[in-house]
Amino acid sequence: MKDTIEEDKRKQRLKQLFAVGRNIGYSKENLEEISSSLGMGGKLSKLSGIQIQRILNSLKKGHPGAFRRPQERDRKRSIPKSQMFSIPSVDQKEMTEILLSQINKIAPYKISLESMAQKTFKTSSEKLSFHQYQSLIEALKSMKFRFERDSFLRKDSQL
């Protein structure tokens, strides 16, 4: 049991040695040369955990930057969904205005963008996101279709 734990640690250190070597730009042959120059033999796979650690320590002295972990402030922070806001496009705003004017010409009652935003999303039209505007456009299209169909049926029944 103790042997397997030590063997696992040795394998882990060997993996770390290769990873550090890659970061520095050393090949396996370069690492073997370093090993033999330190008097530990040429085969990395036959080294003990302590010997691998000695090689890592010598690399650390020569290349301390390869052992530094990236600091938290260097990483990009993601924006929480609650703080994200997608800005509606000019085309979307124009499309809603066009659809509203077309609907108000044929509808029996007047509809405003503000009332639609309040009823649908319980927010003002100025605070609508890109996706909410898109939903309003789809709703306005279906309303326009329904009002056109109803007005066509009324005209048809009057004839």
pLDDT given for residue 127 in this prediction: 87
pLDDT of residue 95: 94
Query: Residue 52 and residue 45: Cα distance in Å, rounded?
Result: 10
C-alpha triplet 135, 118, 84: angle, nearest 5°: 60
CA 106 to chain centroid: 45
142 φ/ψ sector (left φ>0, alpha ψ -120 to 50, else beta): alpha
Report how far residue 20's alpha carbon sits from residue 56's, in angstroms, rounded to the nearest whole number: 8
Q: What is the pTM of this model?
A: 0.47
Q: Which two tokens stand for residue 94?
A: 């124009």
Alpha carbons 61 and 2: distance in angstroms, whole number: 31
Residues 6+ apart with CB under 8 A from 132: 88, 117, 120, 121
Q: Take residue 133 and report the two structure tokens written for it.
A: 């505007």
In angstroms, the CA 78 to CA 100 distance is: 37
**Ordered DSSP codes for 2-24:** HHHHHHHHHHHHHHHHHHHHHHH
Instruction: Give, for all 159 residues of the chain, the pLDDT tens digit.
Output: 667 888 888 888 888 888 888 888 888 888 888 888 878 777 877 788 888 888 888 888 887 777 776 565 556 677 676 666 678 889 999 999 999 999 999 888 899 999 999 999 999 988 888 899 999 999 999 999 998 888 777 776 665
